[in-house]
């Protein structure tokens, strides 16, 4: 059973979360985690000015996603940085190309979930996740969040990501803050939770 982890990462925060999600998926027997990145829409010249060109080499080995990858999976877990409270353009560009899948009902019944990174603690984590959820709902997918069974999202001892909507991390205003162990644990929990749901939904009644 394939679980597609589709992500875009600018400086590495979402990539690290994606790896944690994949590790969670692999804990479910029979579940396969497929990491794919959203095709880049910015030229290298812009990425270099942003200071994003060098960091991206760390996940250059991961193939770009194609629309067909979304059909060939039982669960779709999307990771994106926030852009003004919504998903980034790179992820949006790929999802905007799925009109044919919508017309065919090709995504109906698949499990969908999301994880994000924001620059500040209140920089649009939940609204960004919800912007991904609307895509799932329009395709007739089953939306999964991060249950309160993951107790790490309720801690008050540190700045942390995570909400009932999905896993998340705070990158910091300058992008220098890496995902905490609690953030990564939330991403791991999300991957395991989604894979478990997908397996249950795909099993004969």
3-state SS, 72-102, equals CCCEEEEEEEEECCEECHHHHHHHCCCHHHH
Closest CA to 88 of 150, 10, 161: 10
Could you give the 3-state DSSP secondary structure of residue 174?
coil
Query: How is residue 53 written in tokens?
Result: 């060109």
Host domain of residue 147:
2-202
- The pTM of the full predicted model, rounded to 2 decimals, is 0.96
| CATH number, domain containing residue 109 | 3.40.50.360
Predicted confidence (pLDDT) per residue in 161-178, tens digit? 999 999 999 998 877 789
Query: How is residue 165 written in tokens?
Result: 């909507």
CA distance 26 to 11: 25
Q: How many domains does the chain have?
A: 1
Predicted confidence (pLDDT) per residue in 62-116, tens digit? 999 999 999 999 999 999 999 999 999 999 999 999 999 999 999 999 999 999 9
pLDDT score of 205: 59
**First CA to last CA distance, the chain:** 17
Predicted confidence (pLDDT) per residue in 118-150, tens digit? 999 889 999 999 999 999 999 999 999 999 999
């Amino acid at each position: 059973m394939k679980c597609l982890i589709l992500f875009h990462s600018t400086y590495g925060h979402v990539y690290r979360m994606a790896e944690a999600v994949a590790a969670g998926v692999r804990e479910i027997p029979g579940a396969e985690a497929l990491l794919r990145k959203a095709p880049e829409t910015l030229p290298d010249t812009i990425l270099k000015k942003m200071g994003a060109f060098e960091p991206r080499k760390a996940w250059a080995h991961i193939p770009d996603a194609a629309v067909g990858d979304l059909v060939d999976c039982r669960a779709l877990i999307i990771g994106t940085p926030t852009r003004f409270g919504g998903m980034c353009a790179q992820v949006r560009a790929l999802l905007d190309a799925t009109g044919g899948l919508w017309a065919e009902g090709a995504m109906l019944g698949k499990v969908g979930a999301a994880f994000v990174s924001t620059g500040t603690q209140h920089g649009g984590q939940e609204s960004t996740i919800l912007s991904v959820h609307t895509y799932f709902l329009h395709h007739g997918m089953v939306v999964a969040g991060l249950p309160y069974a993951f107790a790490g999202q309720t801690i008050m001892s540190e700045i942390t990501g995570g909400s009932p909507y999905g896993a998340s991390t705070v990158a910091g205003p300058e992008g220098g803050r890496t995902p905490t162990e609690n953030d990564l644990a939330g991403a791991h929990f999300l991957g395991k939770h989604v894979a478990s749901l997908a397996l249950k939904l795909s099993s004969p009644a």
